[in-house]
Amino acid sequence: MGAQDSAVARFLENGGRCPPGRDELEFTLIGPGYGESVILHVGNGSWVLVDSCIDAEQEPCALTYLNGIGVDPARDVCMVVASHWHDDHIRGMARLVEACGSAKFCCASALCKEEFLTVVGTLQNRPLTAASSGVRELHRVFSRLAETGRHCTFASVNRKVFSRGECDVWSLSPSDRAFETFLKSIGDLLPAVGQAKRRSLDVFPNKAAVALWIQVADTAVLLGSDVEKKDWKEIANNTERPQKKALVFKVPHHGSANAHEPSIWKGMLIADPVAALTPWRRGGRTLPKRSDIARLVSCTEYAYATSRNETPAAPGRRRDKVVERTIRESGIQLRKTGMPDGGIRLRRPAGPKRDWVVELFGSAYRLSTA
Amino acid sequence: MTSLAPLSAEISTMPPRAAAEQASSARVGNVADGFVPNVNGAVRAARARGAAASARVINYQRHNDTAFTSPVEMESGSEARIASMPRKLPHANRTTGATLQALQQWEGYVVDVHQDEFTARLTDLTAAASHEEEEALIPMTEVADNDAELAVLGGVFRWVIGYERSPSGTKKRVSQIVFRRLPAMTQDDIEKGKAWARKILQSPGF
């Protein structure tokens, strides 16, 4: 699948190129089959990008989209956020940071502690694999920021990380407790001296994910990153966070039950908010499960996913027949890591009581139709 | 002793296409390169296990089979460099004179270990991919006995499918998984990591 065949490219070709009006808010979630990226128009031609994923041509999806609707990333993107360092949220982030030359970069303060940076620097000193990884991407991002002297903003609980005009961006996590837990877990990432090196895996519980509250005048959007249930409880109970209710919710951790906290739905979101998620698969495990979908549908009528949990209809790489036959005979089961690609675009003119215009592209669908 | 397409630690610092080029030009290697020679060992293990083969071997009688195609596609600007590469792989086994033609190569790492199999994420080196696009559930019987202990979380391996040709003209189709014996973490590695961390933290934007 080339870039021209991606869901984003097809969407742009088929009428999706029109940029939002200056007073129009936009929330776009792109899921290329593995990973996710959120693109927000926060008014007056300013854009905020949260997380990064890449298409089959290894181009960050957010850049493909912004270029396609006539937005200049170097001039118009004012903030790029890495909500955490897992592979599925950070692929292509270094390219994104470079292309968005006037944007502030924001990540969890925990990621800029010397302990974590030492892990990143050590693991990337002599990379073990040709494949990219979250650690490698972070190494590139920080190296680039340091070379260019660009400003870095650090997210923590209840911190206003960006403000322009009527737009405020707050980080709601990680909490001090999550921060400490994260620092304690860092040691597990690095083999002890004398132990064999291994490829870094992002399977460790993520305690440094950044949940974001983005408010433009009276409209708020809550981005859940991969924040887990325990941390959501703290966020919901925090009295110092912005107290409005969000209209749009980027569902955390691909709809997983371990990231579902009922008090968020009751206390931080309007009734029947628009909820959007990307699916995830690793080994035999997939998210969201059927039970997750049922739960989300019970929470809101307007829940969407960028694709179903299924193998793409399009074939993977074409290989020599001999290779295909050998794979079959070996008993090795090979499958694509990704799922079909798709996206969800929401637009809404500023002002109270306006409805969101929802556009689904690629394999995106409404969960209630599952 | 044969090592297929030895992967040095530095390969990953190359652009993916360059890595694929290096991978496609398999050469004689040794343990120091990180891969344990195991073609013969794998075959022996396969024989010992009967039908379950760690290196699946199929004898071919059609010696003029030309199924091999170069795994490196032409790219603008790189024709000269690629043209100078061998279209067929050189001798990979100095003792027997056998050669290996790699039809397909992946680099993989283990993400989950089960009782009799493991899950790995694969990067297609033949296609010069830069990230994992495929996942494989691999029976442990596909791994040579002396590599089994390396099939742990984060373990890195190379999976090669190709033809092995003997000097007598016998052609075998092989699928083999070769785990890297990864180097040990050193104090020097950590000191370099610390130095990089300090450099980042002392830069103006931080």
Residue A186 CA to its chain's centroid (Å): 22
CB contact under 8 A, A326 and B161: yes
Gyration radius of chain A over CA positions: 20
Return the pLDDT at A135.
86
Q: Over pLDDT 70: what percentage of chain A?
A: 94
B9 contacts on A by Cβ (under 8 Å): 126-128
Q: Model confidence over A78-110: pLDDT tens digits?
A: 999 999 988 889 999 999 999 999 999 999 998
Q: What secondary structure does DSSP assign to A196-241, as a single string? A: BP------S-------EEEEETTEEEEE-TT--HHHHHHHHH-SSS
How many Å lie between the alpha carbon of B38 and the closest alpha carbon of chain A? Answer: 17
The more confidently predicted of residues B13 and A301 is A301
Q: Model confidence over A229-274: pLDDT tens digits?
A: 989 999 999 999 999 999 999 999 999 999 999 999 999 999 999 9
Alpha-carbon distances, residue A48 vs A76, A168, A207, B69 (angstroms): 9, 11, 23, 46
pLDDT (average), residues A191-215? 82
Return the pLDDT at A312.
64
Q: Which residues contact A82 (CB under 8 A, 6 or more apart)?
A: A51, A52, A89, A90, A93, A105, A106, A107, A111, A138, A141, A210
Q: What secondary structure does DSSP assign to B83-141, as a single string? A: HTS-SS--B--TTT--EEEEEEEEEEEEEEE-SSEEEEEEEETTTT-SS--EEEEEEGG
What's the token pair of residue B107? Answer: 């680099």
Going by pLDDT thresholds of 50, 70 and 90, the confidence category of residue A189 is confident
Q: Which residues contact A74 (CB under 8 A, 6 or more apart)?
A: A99, A100, A101, A102
Q: Over pLDDT 90: what percentage of chain A?
A: 71
Residue A273 CA to its chain's centroid (Å): 19
Res B48 pLDDT > 80: no
Return the pLDDT at A204.
57
Q: Model confidence over A114-149: pLDDT tens digits?
A: 999 999 999 887 767 766 678 889 999 999 999 999
B100 contacts on A by Cβ (under 8 Å): none
The reply to whether omega before B204 is within 30° of 0 (cis) is no
Return the pLDDT at A261.
97
- How far is the C-alpha of A155 from the C-alpha of A140, rounded, in Å? 20
* Selection from A44, A16, A82 nearest residue A343 by Cα: A16
Q: Model confidence over B138-157: pLDDT tens digits?
A: 999 999 999 999 999 889 99
Res B50 pLDDT > 60: no
Identity at B188, one-letter amino acid code = D
Q: Touching check for A131 and chain B: CB below 8 Å? A: yes
pLDDT (average), residues B91-117? 82
The more confidently predicted of residues A93 and B25 is A93
What's the token pair of residue A168? Answer: 């405020």
Return the pLDDT at A77.
98
What's the token pair of residue B4? Answer: 């297929």
Nearest 5 degrees, angle CA A12-CA A14-CA A19?
45
Q: Model confidence over A37-80: pLDDT tens digits?
A: 999 999 999 999 999 999 888 899 999 999 999 999 999 999 99
* Selection from A257, A250, A166, A258 nearest residue A212 by Cα: A250
Q: Touching check for A316 and chain B: CB below 8 Å? A: yes
* Selection from A256, A304, A260, A259 nearest residue A282 by Cα: A256
Q: Which residues contact A363 (CB under 8 A, 6 or more apart)?
A: A7, A306, A307, A308, A339, A340, A341, A342
- How far is the C-alpha of B73 from the C-alpha of B33, rounded, in Å? 26
CB pairs < 8 Å spanning A and B: 207
Res B67 pLDDT > 80: no
By Cβ distance, the residue of A126, A191, A320 closest to B67 is: A320
CB contact under 8 A, B103 and A322: yes
Return the pLDDT at A30.
97
Return the pLDDT at A283.
72
A196 contacts on B by Cβ (under 8 Å): 181-185
Residue B175 CA to its chain's centroid (Å): 11
- The end-to-end CA distance of chain B, in Å, is 52
Res B22 pLDDT > 70: no
CB contact under 8 A, B203 and A123: no
Q: Three-class SS of residue A39?
A: strand
The answer to which of A104-113, A146-155, A352-361 has the lowest mean pLDDT is A352-361
pLDDT (average), residues B119-142? 88
Q: Over pLDDT 90: what percentage of chain B?
A: 38
Q: Which residues contact B5 (CB under 8 A, 6 or more apart)?
A: B23, B24, B26, B27, B29, B35, B102, B105, B158, B160
pLDDT (average), residues A328-341? 88
The answer to which of A101-105, A217-221, A275-279, B40-44 has the lowest mean pLDDT is B40-44
Question: pTM of this prediction?
Answer: 0.81
Q: H-type helices in A245-339, by residue range?
A: 262-267, 290-299, 321-330
Return the pLDDT at A296.
98
What's the token pair of residue B112? Answer: 């989950």
Q: Model confidence over A258-314: pLDDT tens digits?
A: 999 999 999 999 999 999 999 998 777 889 999 999 999 999 999 999 999 876 655
Mean of all residue pLDDT scores within chain A: 90
Residue the block writes with tokens 């302990």: A115
Return the pLDDT at B74.
28
By Cβ distance, the residue of B138, B184, B189 closest to A332 is: B138
pLDDT (average), residues A181-194? 84
Going by pLDDT thresholds of 50, 70 and 90, the confidence category of residue A215 is very high
Consecutive H or E run containing A169: strand A167-171
